[in-house]
Amino acid sequence: NIEIHKVPSAKSWINGEFSVKQIKAIKIEDLLGRSVIQLDEAKIKNELTNKVVLVTGAAGSIGSGMVSQIAKYQPEKIILLDYAESAMYDFVNELKSQNPNIPLEVVIGDIRNYDRMKRLFEVYKPHYILHAAAYKHVPLMEDNPSEAVLTNVCGTKNLVDLAVEFNAYKFVMISTDKAVNPTNVMGASKRIAEIYAQNKNSLGKTKFITTRFGNVLGSN
């Protein structure tokens, strides 16, 4: 039952004395060890407003977080793609209870199924793809390497190829810090996917961007 608060460094004490007023509650930002990154809200709004945005892995920790944030920029439509039926059902109900007017299309499907993904692109023609669908648990992928390759590599390849074919404006691949000099199957599969996606920038059509996440607070 101990409460933890923070106090400023001794250098900032008033006249060398510590005041009770200087005791403050701890915020999550205090644990970063760096300055908080301020997003360029105006730029994001300019890019996403009235655009069709596809989020893969939309029912997962990262995907659902992105969907919730994208919604406030008034996109034309957000396409939620995942193969996890129950997780998607729960997330969509939660989302609609908070914002009943959010323009959603829910697609249950597997990124490994090329025909299903092509049909999705044909129908919705997304301007932006935020690709968070992946197998991510390191020990499980060590025991099931073929599944890591089929989803993380082949599934990503399907989406990358279709983004180019359908002239998507931007493709953001959510990768992992495990892809840095990978020492495990999961990290290696994500690194291969990164290389494939980044290589498509040479075509000069869709912009491919990779961002690597470490461990994320509140994620699965």
User: 148, exposed or middle or buried, with CB in 10 Å at 0-12, 13-18, 19+?
Assistant: buried
Residues in the chain: 220
Work out the burial of residue 134: count CB atoms within 10 Å of its CB; fewer than 13 is exposed, 13-18 middle, 19 or more buried: buried
Which of 84, 81, 83, 106 is closest to 93 using CA atoms? 106
Cα-Cα end-to-end distance for the chain: 27
The active-site residue, picked from 51, 136, 178, 200, is 178
- The verdict on whether 178 is a catalytic residue reads yes
Burial class (CB within 10 angstroms; exposed 0-12, middle 13-18, buried 19+) of 113: middle
Q: Which residues are catalytic?
A: 178
